[in-house]
Structure 1
Amino acid sequence: MIPYAPFDVIIIGGSYAGLSAAMSLGRSRRQVLIIDSGLPCNRFTPHSHNFLTQDGKAPAEIAQRAREQVHQYDTVHFVEGTANTVTQVDSFFVVETATGEAFTAKKLILANGIKDNLPDIPGLANAWGKTVIHCPYCHGYEFKDQKTGILAHGDRALHLAGLVYNLSKDLQLFTNGEAEFTAEQRTKLTKAGILVHEERIISISEKEGIIDGITLDTGVFMPLQALYAVIPFTQQGGVADALGCTLTDAGHIKVDFMQKTSVPGVYACGDNSSPMRSVALAVSTGSTAGAMVNMELVTESF
């Protein structure tokens, strides 16, 4: 039973960004409701890195400790579930969950992350977050000097190649189809000694998420110990689209330096609004969103 309504703020998504926003608001004694499905985007990853004081810990361990700390603030409440619809009624937001419960708030923070749309390559899903990875800052050091591949093409491939090259020179690039490189980009890759394979990937060989290589449509098996993959994504749950939030060309929710979206009263934080996917950044943007929402409430009432 939720003891308070309407809330000052509803936070959709209760992982690192949402919990961080809730802590800022709870410490300002705001009535907050977190609606969370319990399925964070990084749940497949065994260890989280590049976050001071938490380096190497399991993501679930970090999240559990965060929830315990946020639970100490008695104005922050939790509901397990997913936000099904969000509508504006006068100056309030009404959020209805998949189970039919409805909650009302003055402000809304979207912290529900993104959905990775994994390509249909056998073996990839099992290894995702373990040895098929997305971020050199989050995972790269653990795979330094190992036989490494990059699954990407075009500008994103060049960007990743530059970052990964400093971690491992034993590096190859797989475009899974015809490559989209300019002559200048191909020259840069050749100069670095990075081979480009344009054949289709038939499968990824793995055991319990640990890969040992990939098979191309020519039948050639390419040994690998790590594979960086640029994976397409969509906004989780469709709430941002329903509200009419402007998206960037890449598909993230467009926010300003205060984490404000294009819709008045709606803020966003974490992976849904930043190309830098990390626990550290999610916590940072969540803290900013919480503080800025509190300031907006202060401005309206004081």
Structure 2
Amino acid sequence: MKESYEVIVVGGSFAGLSAAMQLARARREVLLIDAERPRNRFATHAHGFFGQDGVPPAQAIATATAQLRKYPTVTLLKGEAHRASREASGFRVELTNGFHVKAERLILATGICDKLPPLPGLEGRWAVSVLHCPYCHGYEVGDRRLGVLATHPLSIHQALLIPDWGPTTWFTQGTIEPDAEEVALLSARGVCIERVPVAEIMGEAPSIDGVRLVDGRVIRIDALFISVRTEMASDLAEQLGCAADEGPLGPVIRVGDFKETSVPGVFAAGDASTAMTNATFASASGVAAGVGAHRSLIFTK
């Protein structure tokens, strides 16, 4: 394979593949580097994505990768990019195996990591019965007993949403106390407020039978929604000096309309570039980044 390309895309999930597709169709030389650790690898099915509802994420990624592979100007490389730097002619990316490549433009579709709170039983149920997005997973647990675990002030917002899918208990964990107006809103939505902290998730993972509170009481639920803190899955944006903002749940790379970062020639797409995270948003941002990178090759010298 070559050592120099017009564009390097780091990350081969929904955002990175969508970005690379635009560049492939523009007949540009593009290298896609993928470590094959997408954020959605824990989910058995993806929902709400146009034309792909119910398709396993791994299957959607495999199909898109096979389609991208048919374009002659595309090179796919399995590996982890761990260093990136600016050079006079563009950017240099080094992989963990020591191999390095160069490009005029760089698209970071490196994603984020979910950081679950230290409550026993959460990790083994993540993306199955412990869920973060009702639009992605709510329909599948509809009309069942649902819980919302408070980890962040946004948990109130989540608790107000969830009753559209089923009867809801909001566990404040003794850390978030709603004001009078919020109590009224929660009551109007039929949300039961439980202030005693959850100590244990019950049932054989990945299912949930209920939760045991620190006072010994057991409350039966079938699924638990939770807003988790997130971290960047890669520090490449930081290495390059890309500006970031603190989003509601974690850092977000600052981007413009076509996903250009604060560093000329570097674009960012996917969950690392937006606080609104799901498959559709990721793919759309990848399209914008791919188009943005292509336009910059033409109009920016």
TM-score band (shorter)? over 0.9
The alpha-carbon deviation at position 276 of structure 1 amounts to 2.2
Match 2:189 to one of 189, 192, 199: 192
Partners of 1:55 and 1:107 in 2: CA distance: 33
Structure 1, unmatched stretches of 5+, are none
The answer as to whether partners of 1:111 and 1:272 remain within 8 angstroms in 2 is: yes
Query: TM-score when scaled to structure 1?
Result: 0.94
Within 1, Cα distance between the matches of 2:37 and 2:139? 26
Letter in 2 for 1:253: I
**1:240 and 2:259 matched:** no
Whichever residue aligns with residue 186 of structure 2, its letter is L
Residue 229 (1) aligns with residue 204 (2): no
Could you list the per-position Cα deviations for residues 218-237 of structure 1 after superposition, in whole angstroms to 9, with x for gaps in the alignment?
Answer: 22222111111111111112
Is residue 166 of structure 2 the alignment partner of residue 156 of structure 1? no
SS, match of residue 165 in structure 1: helix
Q: Is the 8 A contact 1:85 1:95 kept in 2?
A: yes
Shift of 1:244: 1.9
- What is aligned with 1:211? 208
Partner SS state of residue 177, structure 1: coil
Number of aligned positions between the proteins = 298
| Structure 2 residue 72 is the aligned partner of structure 1 residue 65 | no
Confirm or deny: 8 A CA contact 1:127 1:206 kept in the other structure.
no
1:118 pairs with 96, 110, 116, which one?
Answer: 116
Runs of 4+ in 1 over 6 A off after TM superposition: none
**Residues 160 and 189 in structure 2, CA contact (< 8 A), matched pair in contact too:** no
Aligned-partner Cα distance in 2 for 1:182–1:258: 40
Deviation at 1:180, TM superposition (A): 4.1
Determine if contact 1:154/1:180 at 8 Å carries over to the other structure: no
Relative to structure 1, the CA distance from residue 47 to residue 183 in structure 2 (aligned partners, 3 Å threshold; closer, same or farther) is: same
Q: Secondary structure of the residue that 1:248 maps to in structure 2? A: strand
Would you say 1:9 and 2:7 are equivalent positions? Answer: yes
Deviation, structure 1 residue 154: 5.4
CA contact (8 A) 1:94 1:102 kept: yes
Write the distance in 2 (CA, Å) between the matches of 1:93 and 1:24: 20
Which residue is 2:283 aligned to? 283
Counting only pairs closer than 5 Å after superposition, residues 100-115 of structure 1 correspond to structure 2 as 100-115=98-113
Match of 1:40 in 2: 38
Q: Which residue of 2 aligns with 1:257?
A: 257
Q: Secondary structure at the match of 1:193?
A: coil
**Map of 1:299 onto structure 2:** 299
Q: For the Cα contact (< 8 Å) 2:155–2:226, is it kept in 1?
A: no
- In 2, Cα distance between equivalents of 1:214 and 1:117: 20
Give the drift of 1:288: 1.3
Residue identity (%): 38
221-230 or 201-210, which moves further after superposition? Answer: 201-210
| Alpha carbons 1:178, 1:199 under 8 Å: kept | no
Question: Where does the alignment leave 5 or more consecutive residues of structure 2 unmatched?
Answer: none
CA contact (8 A) 1:172 1:194 kept: yes
The residue aligned with 1:98 is 96
Whole-angstrom distance in 1 between the partners of 2:172 and 2:273: 26
Shift in Å, 1:290 = 0.5
Q: Which one-letter code corresponds to 1:119 in the other structure?
A: P
Cα distance in structure 1, aligned partners of 2:7 and 2:233: 20
| Structure 2 equivalent of residue 135 of structure 1 | 133
Superposed CA RMSD in Å reads 1.6
The answer for the alignment partner of 1:23 in structure 2 is 21
Aligned AA (1:101): F
**Whole-angstrom CA distance in 1 between matches of 2:67 and 2:244:** 32
